[in-house]
A and B are shown apart, each in its own frame.
Chain A
């Protein structure tokens, strides 16, 4: 049997990028952010919520959308919005309109 050259033997223990590596982290939430689109400036000149969300789950396009499958409910976006357009409501679900 031909001996394989050691340089050809590559052991691959490489992780691949994956959304939800820790599962659906939205399940961690006890409060849920709700955006009032009328109050939001809808202006690119703001985007503070987008910038400060550690998990990067707020869209950058207006009207803004929050990915509630993964939002951990920290409340930073609501705290930092200069127009008070985001409110944290109790529970894991956003109210149905």
Chain B
């Protein structure tokens, strides 16, 4: 059953207050609700170098009440595979192996290890939190950064390429569960992580994680920015179970009756888009429209 109200989210917190993450961090809100959907006493997390490492704290203490193994930047899929193999050898089939990496660690440097793990059908859940850049080291461009964004490695012309179709790459591995989510829609996020937890085999989730200092918007607008991304179709909420595609939550509402907001509304509130010109906005709108129509077509075919 779909979780329909905040009070239905588990009370227990698994991240103790006083973390190193920035105020208003979309990654932290994502992780907070993802852990509620897992059973953190029976979860082992593989984390590469990223803002997530920073969240997990500095030895000998951590704010997070779950077992975490820090692995090299590009090795998350391989590290998680090793953990899964170890658990299997010891007969611990009640554990969830969670790989939790940024977009740089997923779309770029970690793609080989991830593809290998998915191809082997490793029994684990991989969550990519997408803050659309290498935030931990100062907002460098990744292949998940949107076109038109200023990053510290695209400071003059802004990024010229559109976001990579990572979901398409993941789907090519024919894994049993793929989903997208957003911390601005925590109930949908919670349900999906729970479904992923209870699915056997390789599962992949991509969670859009707005980053106020990296994107340049006020802290208080974190939730609003995440919602605007969904309302404009920049980020689309869906689930693909055994190849069966369905829009969910707000994206489903938009498909059924609503009207998407123009991407111009989304970009205007963020300083990373301060150099975007009319032509680039149109190109971004076109990119978003085409992708939305593809998703809509797949959804309608299945409903």
Number of A-B contacts (CB under 8 A): 118
B60 touches A54 (CB 8 A): no
CB-defined A-B contacts under 8 Å, sample of 18: A19-B63, A21-B20, A22-B20, A23-B18, A24-B18, A45-B5, A45-B7, A50-B6, A54-B32, A54-B222, A55-B19, A60-B11, A70-B17, A70-B18, A76-B24, A76-B222, A79-B221, A79-B223
Question: A28 to chain B: which residues have CB within 8 Å?
Answer: 23
Query: Which of A25, A48, A56, A67 contacts B32, CB < 8 Å?
Result: A56
Question: B56 to chain A: which residues have CB within 8 Å?
Answer: 15
B186 at the interface (CB under 8 A from A): yes
B61 touches A17 (CB 8 A): yes
B64 at the interface (CB under 8 A from A): yes
Question: B26 to chain A: which residues have CB within 8 Å?
Answer: 54
Q: In the complex, what distance in Å separates the CA atom of A33 from the CA atom of B268?
A: 27
Q: In the complex, what distance in Å separates the CA atom of A60 from the CA atom of B9?
A: 11
Query: Which of A21, A24, A69 contacts B63, CB < 8 Å?
Result: A21
- In A9-25, the 8 Å CB interface with B consists of 13-25
A78 at the interface (CB under 8 A from B): yes
Query: Which of B13, B25, B62 contacts A16, CB < 8 Å?
Result: B62
Q: Mark B49-78, 1 if CB is under 8 A from A, else 0.
A: 000000011111111110010000000000
A35 at the interface (CB under 8 A from B): no
Extra 13 A-B pairs, beta carbons < 8 Å, given A54-B21, A78-B220: A13-B59, A15-B56, A15-B57, A15-B60, A17-B62, A24-B18, A46-B6, A51-B186, A56-B13, A69-B17, A72-B22, A72-B24, A76-B24
B112 at the interface (CB under 8 A from A): no
Q: Mark B207-245, 1 if CB is under 8 A from A, else 0.
A: 000000000001111111000000000000000000000
B29 at the interface (CB under 8 A from A): yes
Interface SS of chain A: helix, strand, loop or mixed?
A: loop
How many residues does chain B have at the interface if contact means C-beta atoms less than 8 Å apart?
41
* Known A54-B29, A76-B24; contact A17-B17, beta-carbon cutoff 8 A: no
Q: Which residue of B lies closest to A14 (CB)?
A: B60
Q: Mark A54-88, 1 if CB is under 8 A from B, else 0.
A: 11110010000001011011111011100000001
A16 shortest CB reach to chain B, Å? 6
Question: B9 to chain A: which residues have CB within 8 Å?
Answer: 51
Q: Which residue of B lies closest to A73 (CB)?
A: B23
B181 at the interface (CB under 8 A from A): no
A25 touches B17 (CB 8 A): yes
B18 touches A51 (CB 8 A): no
Question: B222 to chain A: which residues have CB within 8 Å?
Answer: 52, 54, 74, 76
Question: A57 to chain B: which residues have CB within 8 Å?
Answer: 17
Pick from A18, A50, A57, A80 the residue with the most CB of B within 10 Å: A18
A79 touches B18 (CB 8 A): no
Q: Which residue of A lies closest to B57 (CB)?
A: A21
